[in-house]
Amino acid sequence: MRQVPLLLLFLYVFLINACGQQKNQVAVTIVTHDIDHFWKAYDASAPAFHPAVFQQQYIDKGSAGLKAFNKSRIKGAENLVKVITKRPQYYASLRASTQKISNMNESITRAFQQMKELHPSMKPPTVYFVIGAMNSGGTSSDDGLIIGADMYGLTSATDTSELDSWLKTVLKPVEEIPHIVAHELVHFYQRYDGGTLLAACIKEGGADYIAELISGKHINQPVHAYANPREKELWTEFQKRMLEKDYSGWLYSSSPGRPNDLGYWIGYQITKAFFDKSPDQKQVMEEFLTIKDFEKFLQDSGYAKRFQ
């Protein structure tokens, strides 16, 4: 019996492994042409900024993602122009940041690949990048993930005199884009809504935790820096209200002297505790994405027991 040369054997094993890896690769569709259309409309309309120009050259030419975002967030060309004229210096400085996004495909795809490892049945949604009316950094919908690139233009040179207190705390640098995409990717697969404060915080903070697992970072570092040294105090306060449907002071808002969205932090802590208890990350991910009973999820995490 003739023996197979060692070199050919190594080549055979290499090809088998390569084919297996190729089969498991995630193909992600990333759409950035809405950003190009925005700047064409901007240049054609400046300095007066006519809604009709943005309607014809931006919104009417928009992707499915932009059309969905226009309906739910931008609210039409007239509203978009109102926001641009209210913050002209910010929008003028935004172009350089948005032009960096098309170079982020590799890091975004890497996060999708990591998500696939934890959630093997996932079918990756399309990622759309648009420029909106400074009221949303991103959302997930049936159309895919839609990222408002206008919320990621913060630089050391940003003119903050045009920004209100909310924008000053929520605007991020464009380098955060892969992490917000990862966050919205988690939302795309979560099969539950907010409801109680507890449920909403686990939904948002849990998405931050998984985003960190798959992209290396989450988007709320300053909130964690404030909250970590005050963990027991904040937990004691949170548990008194966690079954209510009032999100004030915890989600999409803040209390005086505190950062916005502390609920993201508390949801992160609960989700992390839940994941830390299990060696089977895939099984835990499936449980996390399909939570039916949020009080039970909290109990199973063991997080509350730390403070007894």
Residue 111 in contact with residue 154, Cβ under 8 Å? no
Q: What is the pTM of this model?
A: 0.89
pLDDT in tens, 69-97: 999 999 999 999 999 999 999 999 999 99
Mean pLDDT, residues 122-145 taken together: 94
Residue 196 in contact with residue 244, Cβ under 8 Å? yes
Between 254 and 162, the more confident residue is 162
Measured in whole angstroms, the distance separating CA 7 from the mean position of its chain's CA atoms is 47
Q: How confident is the model at residue 294 (pLDDT cuts 50, 70, 90)?
A: very high
| pLDDT value of position 286 | 95
Mean pLDDT, residues 123-131 taken together: 97
Average pLDDT, the chain: 91
pLDDT in tens, 10-26: 554 444 444 444 446 88
| pLDDT value of position 25 | 81
Task: Please state, in angstroms and rounded to a whole number, the distance separating the CA atoms of residues 131 and 150.
Answer: 5
Distances, alpha carbon 178 to alpha carbons 64, 147, 183, in Å: 21, 10, 9
